[in-house]
Each structure stands twice: as structure tokens, then as C-alpha cells.
A and B are shown apart, each in its own frame.
Chain A
Amino acid sequence: MQNGVYMLSRNFSLQSVGNIDWIRECYNFDAIAFSIDELIVFNVEREKKDVKEFSRNLIELSKRCFMPIAAGGGIRSIEDAYMILDAGADKLVINTPVITNPELVISFIKTFGSQCIVASIDYKKHDRHTETFIHDGSHSTGLTVEEHVKKAERLNCGEIYLTSMDNDGTGEGLDLDIIKKISEVSMVPLIASGGIGKFNHFTDGILQGKADAVSTANLFNFIEDGLTDARSTMQKCSIDMASWDIDFFKSFK
């Protein structure tokens, strides 16, 4: 989200999509919202991230979302954190401060608990190693994914949200090698993201990558009942998932 407008990202380049009303109208956001276990919202404003404005949009968004919501982007103080949580978020997604201001992350965890903090890690793959990035993928940390994950775990972050910048928005599938490698060493739940474009990509992330959860922002590949069908595809592969009656929501249109 950027200034209330929803964006699509490909390799971290952004393309504007529309505001929440437009998404609701054209892409049946409710059908999407009622088929996911958790919603993650990022403030991807590249210049100065306005947390107040972001929170206002989050309030609107959360009115029709009855699942846990994780939100992040530009959270740089305890006041920012309170604002995002008061707007309806259950978890804070933290990227840059894990590297630049670990004390802040520690104070978030002290105040809200580690279950409230998701460390998001963006990375690119080179021939022999990986390199992670902060500031919306613009600055290298000089760390490998393993080193970065260890750092987040030492701070006591509750979950890792791992995004392959190379695969982001391509729809060609998750980076299963790295996901598998990280899920084997990570002590906390791992959410894999970047590259999902087809139903079997979700299943691959869980069964081959051994991730605890898989995430897509590529909603336009899964419009209308797409995510509902994705869920049932996963359940058919014996992945144990929460289930609920989607038709219930339709009676409240």
C-alpha cells in the first residue's frame, strides 16, 4: 500500500493498482479476505513513510477482515507501533530496524511480546551466496540470509517473513532451495514469499520448502475464488489447514 493505493511489485518495482474500494469492486476483495489465514499489509511508500496515513487506511481495511493482520513499513518508534496496532493490526512487520536499530526491536518485543514481531527479510541470490537488503530492497546489509535470520532470532522476533527479490512478482514459483535451507535452521516459524503464481507453488513451499506458511501478494493471479481453490488444492495434498465456511460471509453482503 502506498498513500492508500494498493501496489503490485515485480522484483521490488512497484505498479499502482487501485484503492481499497476499487479492489473491492473489481477484484472481489471480500472473497480474497475470506480465504486466507492471515493478512499482511506493507507500507511501500518509497520516500517518507507516513505511518499516520497508513494507519488510517489500515482502519478501513480491517473493518471487513476477521483474521490476524500483520502490518509494517516505516515503523521507527514505539508511537508508530502503537498507532499500527490500534488501527487493527495484531503483529508488526519489521525490516530495516532489525539491522539499523536492534534496540528498538528489543523494546517492541518487551512491550508487545515476541508473537507480535515478524522480521521481514528481503534477499537476492548470487552464484554462491545470498545477500539481504533493507530500505525497501535498496541497501545491502552485507549479510547472507542465514546470518540475517540468526540476527532476528537473537533479538527474539516471533516469525520470519522471507522474500526472494529475484522471484518477487514473477509468478514463476518460490525459491525452494533457500526456503528449505532456512526452514531447516530457523527456530521460529518461516513464512515464504516471492514468486507464487500457481496453485502448486503454495503446496511446493510447504511440502518441499518445509515453510510453515506461504504468502502471495500476487492477488491478481488468484482473483474471485482463486485463493479458495488454492486452499482446497493444498488440503487435497494433505496439508493440515484451518477450515471455515466461506458461504457464511455471503449472507452478509
Chain B
Amino acid sequence: MEAQIRAVLNLFKPSMVSIINYGMGNIRSVYNALNFIKVDCRIVNSAAEILESEKLILPGVGSFRMAMDNIKNRGLFDAINEAVLIKKNYILGICLGMQLFADEGEEDGLTKGFGWIPAAAKRFPAQVLGIKIPHIGFNRVYFQGTPVNLFKGLGESADFYFVHSYRMVCLEQEKYSSSWANYGERFIASVQYKNIFGTQFHPEKSLSNGLVVLRNFCQL
């Protein structure tokens, strides 16, 4: 009986931050990071849970095509779109999660993304740039001035952990990008547009710099 009451109470408890689990990579580390900074969070799997969440985090490791397929096959696509475009809830995409905000991704054959940011996820032209991919390890990220800021408290630049072979390419970089980093070229390290936020790096793997970013997002 007590368990039932608790279950009902939990049902009505507004959840601050929901981490979307769609079968793409390690969500445990994002969950651990939020727990550490004492953010009330939960892992969600369904459209209903997504729609009743105040803030969403979309992590992701793997291929663009598989990620979009998973989101659609699990019936989450419309719910995420509604939460972000109609309810205007805040969302943070991490790594592949951010790239899914683009119009399309070229990994595993051209795939349509959410299309919130007029951009494409394209492979680093490693040979042209003379670099090895994946780009892996800590790299310095330079922040661009934006009114609502994920990088509050971190100065003008900070080090973050990256693992990726694709990066977001956007013609209107000035409008959508909130920071950049160098790897053979200057690439988009994070995006920000209205209620939509994304980082190419992994804040959950970037020691205190990353925890500051997560805390800033959760305090928006």
C-alpha cells in the first residue's frame, strides 16, 4: 500500500531534468554527473515522460542514422519536437545528441535530423586537414558572447573532453554557435538557439568544467 502511494506521488512529482534513454550510448555517466551536482533528475524512455519533463538532456554516442531510427522506432520523435518547439522547454544535446538538432547527418547514408538548427553533421575531412580522426581528448573551447550562457563562471575559454569524427557544419555559424574549438580547422563546439542548447564535447567527462556547464543548464 505504502509503495503504491509512493508510486502515485512520484507520478505527480514534477521532474526537473530528464535524460532521454533511446539506446544510444552511456547515459549512466550523465546521470552520475547530475546526481553529483545535486540536480533532481531521472532517466526517461517514453513520449509521455518526455512531455511532462521541464528540461531534457539528449545524450548520444554512435551513428546519426541509428540514433534517428531509434528515436522514431521508440515513438519519441513527435514528443521531443513538441517539448522543444511548442512547449519551448529547454533541451541540451550532448555530442551526437547535439548533431541530431541539425537538418541532416551524412553518417551511414544521408539521414534527416530534427532540423532545429540549419546545419549538417559532416565527417572531418581528415586527409585535407591533415588530422587523425576521431578527434579524441581534451581540447580548449573558446566561448562566444551570448546572453544566456552555458559557460557562466568559466571565463573566456576552458578545456573539455571530445570524442567524435563528425562535426556540425552551419552556414550561419555566428547565429547558432556559442563556442568553437580547433582541430585542423575551427569547428562548432556548442550551439545555442532560443531554448535549444548543445555541446559537441562531453560535459559529463570534463571534470569540473563540464559540471559547471551542466549546472548552468539546469539552472536556466
Q: A91-120, CB under 8 A of B: which get 1 and which 0?
A: 000000000000000000000011100000
Q: How far is the CB of A184 from chain B (nearest CB, A)?
A: 17
Are B38 and A158 interface neighbours, CB within 8 A?
no
A241–B159 Cα gap in the complex (Å)? 9
A-B contact count (CB 8 A): 70
Are B33 and A66 interface neighbours, CB within 8 A?
yes
Are A115 and B212 interface neighbours, CB within 8 A?
no
Q: Which residues from 131 to 168 on chain B have a C-beta closer than 8 Å to any C-beta of chain A?
A: 134, 136, 138, 158-159, 161, 163
Asked if A246 CB lies within 8 Å of chain B CBs, one says yes
Q: Which B residue sits closest to A64, measured CB to CB?
A: B36
A3–B103 Cα gap in the complex (Å)? 48
The residues of A that contact B32 with a CB separation of less than 8 Å are: 62-66, 88
- Interface-central residue, A62, A86, A87, A115, by most chain B CB under 10 Å: A115
Are A88 and B33 interface neighbours, CB within 8 A?
no
Q: Which B residue sits closest to A213, measured CB to CB?
A: B137
Are A68 and B161 interface neighbours, CB within 8 A?
yes
Are A115 and B136 interface neighbours, CB within 8 A?
yes
Are A158 and B28 interface neighbours, CB within 8 A?
no
Q: Which residues from 34 to 72 on chain A have a C-beta closer than 8 Å to any C-beta of chain B?
A: 34, 37, 59, 62-68
Q: How far is the CB of B162 from chain A (nearest CB, A)?
A: 10
Q: Which A residue sits closest to B160, measured CB to CB?
A: A242
Binds A, one of B86-94, B174-182, B199-207: B199-207
The residues of A that contact B204 with a CB separation of less than 8 Å are: 66
The residues of A that contact B159 with a CB separation of less than 8 Å are: 242-244
Q: At the interface, is chain B mostly helix, strand, loop or mixed? A: helix
Asked if A179 CB lies within 8 Å of chain B CBs, one says no
A78–B208 Cα gap in the complex (Å)? 33
Other-chain residue from B28, B138, B211, B212 in contact with A242 (beta carbon distance below 8 A): B138
From known contacts A64-B32, A88-B29, A90-B163, infer whether A248 and B138 are also in contact, taking CB-CB under 8 Å: no
Q: Which residues from 32 to 56 on chain B have a C-beta closer than 8 Å to any C-beta of chain A?
A: 32-33, 35-38
The residues of B that contact A245 with a CB separation of less than 8 Å are: 208-209
The residues of A that contact B37 with a CB separation of less than 8 Å are: 252
Asked if A85 CB lies within 8 Å of chain B CBs, one says yes
The residues of A that contact B134 with a CB separation of less than 8 Å are: 113-115
From known contacts A90-B163, A242-B159, A244-B158, infer whether A62 and B207 are also in contact, taking CB-CB under 8 Å: no
A37–B136 Cα gap in the complex (Å)? 12
From known contacts A37-B138, A63-B35, A158-B136, infer whether A248 and B208 are also in contact, taking CB-CB under 8 Å: yes
Are A68 and B205 interface neighbours, CB within 8 A?
yes
Q: Which A residue sits closest to B28, measured CB to CB?
A: A88
Are B210 and A86 interface neighbours, CB within 8 A?
no
A114–B136 Cα gap in the complex (Å)? 11
Taking Cβ atoms with an 8 Å cutoff, the residues of B that contact A are 26, 28-29, 32-33, 35-38, 134, 136, 138, 158-159, 161, 163, 204-212
